[in-house]
Amino acid sequence: MADLEIRGLTKIFPGGMRALDGLDLQIKDGEFFALLGPSGCGKTTLLRSIAGLETPNSGQILIGGRDVTRLPPAARDVAMVFQDYALYPHMTVADNIAYPLKVRRVGRKERRETAESVGRSLQIQGAMLDRRPGQLSGGQQQRVALARAIAYRPHVFLFDEPLSNLDARLRLEARTFLKQLQRELGVTTVYVTHDQAEALALADRMAVMDQGRIRQLDTPSNCFLRPANTFVAAFIGSTPMNLLPATVQDGKFEVAGQKVMIPETIRAQVSAGDTVILGVRPEYVSVSPTELPDSLTGTVRVLENLGVDSLVTIVVGDLRVQATVPEERVPAVGDRIWLAPDQRRLLAYRQDDGEQVGAPTVAQSDAPARVPSAE
C-alpha cells in the first residue's frame, strides 16, 4: 500500500512529440485514480512511465515516498494489467496466476496454494485452474489477469483499459466487480481509460488529460458538475454539454439575441462587453411550452429517445441548444418552447483559453514553474 507522487514528469518521443509535459500529480494511498482522455493525450505513456516501461526525460516518480524514477520495473512493486491481458498461452490458468511467484522462486506447492486462494476470491476455481487461457471467455481471461496482479501483492495496481476488450453488457458487470474488488483490497490503483462514463463510475478522483497535460484533476462529481474548461466540459458527460457563445450586456448574458440571467457566483467576475462561452448540461435545462422569464426560446428541431428521457434539440436564433426532457413532457417537432438553464449549473468560460470564469480555479496539475526539458 503506498501513495504515488509525480513531479514535473516530461517525456518526449523521438521526432519531438511531447507525450508528457511537466506533469504533477499526487495519488493517495488506497485511492482509485482514473486517467481519462482522448487518444494521444499521454495517459498510457504516464501509466507506462509509472510502471517503468518508459523512461521519462525529466521529472520524478515516487511510490510510497521512495524515488523509483531510475529503477527497473521489477524493483517498483507495481503490477500492471494490460489491455490484451497478456496471459501466457502455453501456461495453465493456475501457472499464469502464480507466475509472479515463480519469478520470485517460490516453491511449487506454495505457488499452487496461492493460485487457488487468489483464484477463489475471483471465482476462478476447480477445473478452470487447469485450462489454458485460450479456452476461456473474455470475462474469465480478464479475471485471470486480475488474479495474477493480485497474487503479486504490489503496492500499486496499474490498469491499461482493462475492460475495453469486453462486450458492452459484460463491461458494465465487470466495472461493478472491479470497483468492489478495489474497495476490498484497498490497493492504490491507477486506471487508464478513454471512456468517460467508466472513469466517472469507478474513480475516487480522476485526471482529465489532453496533449500531455492535465486539464482538470478532481472528483468525478466535480468534473461532471463543474468542468474547469471547455475541453473537460465537452469530453465528460454522455450527452454533450451545451457550449454557447454569449456577451455580457445590461447585466445579463446575451445569447443569440436573447437574454439570460447571470448567476450570482459569476456576476462579480464579468463586466459589460465581455464575451464568454456559456456551458450548461442538457440535463439542467428546463423546458416549458409556455413563456418563462429570462429564458431562451426557439423551435424544436430534433427529438432523440434516450430511454427514460428524450434529448430535444432546439434552434435558438442561429444556435442549437439541447435539453433532456422526461417522457411525459416531450414536445413535438416544430413546437415553440422556452428553455431556462438551472442557475446553479450554469457555467461561463473565457473565450480565449476555454478556462472557467468565476468559480475558484479548480486544481490544475501543471505547476506554474515548468521543469525545462532535458533535450
Residues of this chain that bind another protein (CB under 8 A): 13-17, 19, 38-45, 48, 51-55, 72-74, 76, 78-80, 82-84, 86, 88-91, 99-100, 102-104, 148, 152, 160-161, 164-165, 194
- Cα separation of 202 and 167, whole Å? 18
Q: Nearer to another protein by C-beta: 37 or 220? A: 37
Minimal distance in Å, beta carbon 44 to another protein?
5
Q: CB under 8 Å to 321, separation ≥6 — which residues? A: 242, 244, 285, 296, 298, 313, 314, 339
The count of other CB atoms within 10 Å of the CB of residue 176 is 11
Minimal distance in Å, beta carbon 278 to another protein?
29
> Is the distance from CB of 209 to CB of 9 less than 8 angstroms?
no
> Is the distance from CB of 34 to CB of 203 less than 8 angstroms?
yes
CA 326 to chain centroid, in Å, comes to: 27
If phi over 0 gives left and psi between -120 and 50 gives alpha, with beta otherwise, what is residue 199?
alpha
Minimal distance in Å, beta carbon 264 to another protein?
40
Minimal distance in Å, beta carbon 47 to another protein?
9
Q: Nearer to another protein by C-beta: 70 or 336? A: 70
The candidate with the shortest Cα–Cα distance to 216, out of 7, 363, 23, is 363
Q: Nearer to another protein by C-beta: 74 or 127? A: 74
Q: Nearer to another protein by C-beta: 13 or 123? A: 13
The candidate with the shortest Cα–Cα distance to 347, out of 287, 280, 298, is 280
Q: Nearer to another protein by C-beta: 45 or 258? A: 45
The candidate with the shortest Cα–Cα distance to 114, out of 133, 91, 95, is 95
- Cα separation of 275 and 253, whole Å? 9
Minimal distance in Å, beta carbon 11 to another protein?
9
Cell readout for 165 is 476488450
Q: Nearer to another protein by C-beta: 170 or 359? A: 170
Minimal distance in Å, beta carbon 234 to another protein?
16
